[in-house]
Amino acid sequence: MSGERTADTAGRDAGGRRAALFDVDGTLVDTNYLHAVTWWEAMRQAGHTVSMREIHHTIGMSSGKLMDRLLPEDRDRSRDERISGAHKALYAEYFPRLPALDGASELLRTLAGNGWYVVLASSASKDELAAMRAAIGADEALGAVLSSDDVGEGKPAPDLVEQSLERAGVPAGDAVFVGDTVWDIVACGKAGVRSIALLSGGIPAELLREAGAAEIYRDPADLLRQLDDSALGR
């Protein structure tokens, strides 16, 4: 798809539009632990020993910020691109079998049917995001799609959230972001956007709450079941 729909197909004109912004990794597709394993292997190949627990808690950051957080400050940074490339190659092996989380496609379709302009706002690269969109199978519900290639600085910087608002044509007060990591929630806070957190990425509820999540649900299916009482239903 082209990445954007007209105001008519979105169901609202730009003046009355509401935008539902979604992270994808760990929020709509069950990929966070795959990322942890493949980052661990990429770093191991480069001679770095990093625990998977530490890696898991950085998932959601841009690749550069992830490595800055996990690897020694005095490392040979000229090798960072090689490490990132190794992670991408290892992770790409899973593309044909990435599992959408329970309720993911139904949630997107329901929101679009209720008049929300649905935006995927992912820190993933375009090819990674394409594989996840195929797993979800709800492209007809999407109004816009943004990847790491569309912004200058990744989460926890607010660039991706702010660019999503611009693409949707709404102010921060008319948007709700759904994510699964602390970095999603922090980015939303910087952009002034309300956030819903899902536990499907494996991050404890207390950390998401401390970061500023307004609501917390188990996974997309749980949010869908309670949609009418959520920020996306009220």
| pLDDT tens per residue, range 48-95 | 999 999 999 999 888 999 999 999 999 999 999 999 999 999 999 999
DSSP string for 182-202: HHHHHHHHHHT-EEEEEGGGS
Residue 82 lies in a domain: yes
User: In this structure, what are the phi and psi dihedrals at residue 40, rounded to the nearest 5 degrees?
Assistant: -60, -45
Same domain, 54 and 115: no
* Total count of domains within the chain: 2
Q: Report how far residue 177's alpha carbon sits from residue 119's, in angstroms, rounded to the nearest whole number.
A: 9
Residue 64 structural domain: 32-93
Q: Which helix or strand (DSSP H or E) is residue 144 part of?
A: strand 142-146
Same domain, 22 and 48: no
- The predicted model scores a pTM of 0.90
Q: Which helix or strand (DSSP H or E) is residue 159 part of?
A: helix 159-168
> What residue ranges of the chain have pLDDT lower than 50?
1-13
Taking Cα atoms as reference points, which of 218, 219, 230, 231 lies closest to residue 106? 219
C-beta neighbour count of 35 within 10 angstroms: 24
The residue out of 42, 62, 93 marking a domain boundary is: 93
